[in-house]
Amino acid sequence: MKCLKLFFLLFACSAKGNPSATLPDSSYLESPGWYNSTWLGTYYEQSNSWIFHTKLEWLYLPSSDTQSFWIYHPTLEWLWTTSSIYPWVYINEITEWRYYFAQLGFYEAESQQWYSQSELINQISQSRLTSYTSDYYSSGALAANTSISSWFDRSLEINGLKLFVAGAVSGQTAVPEEWAKKVAQTVKLLTNPNGEGIDISSQEQLIQVLQGATGTWHAGYPAAQRLAYGGGSDYSPNPLTDEGIEAYEGFQNLDKYLMNDMVWYRNSSDGEVNNVGNYDIAEVLEHLMHTIHLYGVPGAAPGSQDALKWDPEFNIGWQTSELYLAIKEAVNNGIFSLQDYGDENIDTPDTYRVASKEYLYLLNFGMWEFGQEFWENGTLAPEWSDRARTSAGVEQNNPLGYALFNKYIEPVLSRPNPSDLRTIYQDDDGGISGYQSD
């Protein structure tokens, strides 16, 4: 009996000597950093208000007031509850209450349905996209289309941009429907009118420019993004060669569309097939940005058409444009390398044309701090210096690029939430698009 009393005395002293900084009334579990809350459950505590919850995983708890308890979750964002009503949780992003049960997910009382965390994230993503609507924004359905050439068999139009989707042809299987919808959802996130810093009228103008609407600089020639499987060499004949272009009936008729790079599903361009979700995100964003930066952003925000002269063949005075000067500054400051671009001379038209689209993408990734998130090992140095992987780094090392982004790109392109992108693009081709047509 004395031994038992001694055990409880030692346990009480240990718990008292190791109180939780997050929830002081929690019990210490005799393992460094581990505690149990009678209402929140078991968690591991760090010293910076972050805890690892055994069910909800990483959480940020700025206050220990259990009667008004805010929780930040990296994918669900801000949640609110109290010790007396948990597991009922208020989801701030969708302004709804949900009942949380680890084995089933989040219960919605109105529909009387349980939703997994991934499904809840998609609901949050959709809510961000539906606060503002107008006739300019439209989400088309993926539909069969036999008029795009024998290489593509489906199409979809999302906020002014046409997507052409490759079918089962020339020894390659068709691009999956869900992948096409993932790309469409990514375009939707990039053109979210509710995004921070968005100027609605300028973004609506971007949509019209992409469409080639009357009065825009490429009127009658809409922009399109091609989606195919693997890489060009996976098709026989290779549609990226002159021989291949001639082999696919109707392919030459696509000259009436403005197109740039390809978005590859299960990209095999480097030999090994990609199956990493983060690299899918980088692949899709890079090539969508190439298309949108070239054929949508110029002419959207006031002054952008003159500022973003990227094609010397059609743009007189390109060497005095804001884009040229920003690229030249980045090159001179060791931020952007022209090592793999043509003759490496920014004043050569062909080199400048290619460098322009790559610079705009890299600048965009730097300002959004996406390189650290999605590039392999978080870097593209020396092509783009690690010194400019953050907004502050760009401002310090490429101030002309910083100003250019804030004047002409930020007002029209929305920064997707990385957690939304990672829900869509998961390793081994996992994830769901969450795309909904009108």
- Tokens 């460094």 locate to 32
Q: Residue 3: its pLDDT value, please?
A: 40
Q: Tell me 348's DSSP state.
A: S
Farthest-apart Cα atoms in the chain, separation: 95
* Backbone torsions φ then ψ of 97, nearest 5 degrees: -90, 140
Which tens digits make up the pLDDT trace of 372-414?
Answer: 999 999 999 999 999 999 999 999 999 999 999 999 999 999 9
- Strand pairing class (224-229; 262-265): parallel
Q: Residue 274: its pLDDT value, please?
A: 86
Q: Residue 264: its pLDDT value, please?
A: 95
Q: Residue 122: its pLDDT value, please?
A: 78
Which two structure tokens, joined as six digits, stand for 232? 């060009």
Nearest to 166 by CA among 151, 181, 144: 151
**Within 13 Å and on the Cβ side, how many CA atoms surround 335?**
27
Q: Tell me 263's DSSP state.
A: E
Q: Residue 130: its pLDDT value, please?
A: 65
What would the DSSP string read from start to end of 129-143?
HSSS--TT--BPPPE
Which tens digits make up the pLDDT trace of 47-85?
Answer: 788 999 999 999 999 888 888 889 999 888 899 999 999
Query: Which residues in the chain show pLDDT less than 50?
Result: 1-16
Which tens digits make up the pLDDT trace of 310-331?
Answer: 999 999 999 999 999 999 999 9
- Strand pairing class (88-91; 152-158): unpaired
Q: Residue 20: its pLDDT value, please?
A: 86
277-295 and 349-368 helices, crossing angle to 10°: 120
- Tokens 């973004």 locate to 203
Q: Tell me 408's DSSP state.
A: I
237 cis-preceded (ω within 30 degrees of 0): yes
**Within 13 Å and on the Cβ side, how many CA atoms surround 334?**
2
Which two structure tokens, joined as six digits, stand for 163? 């997507």
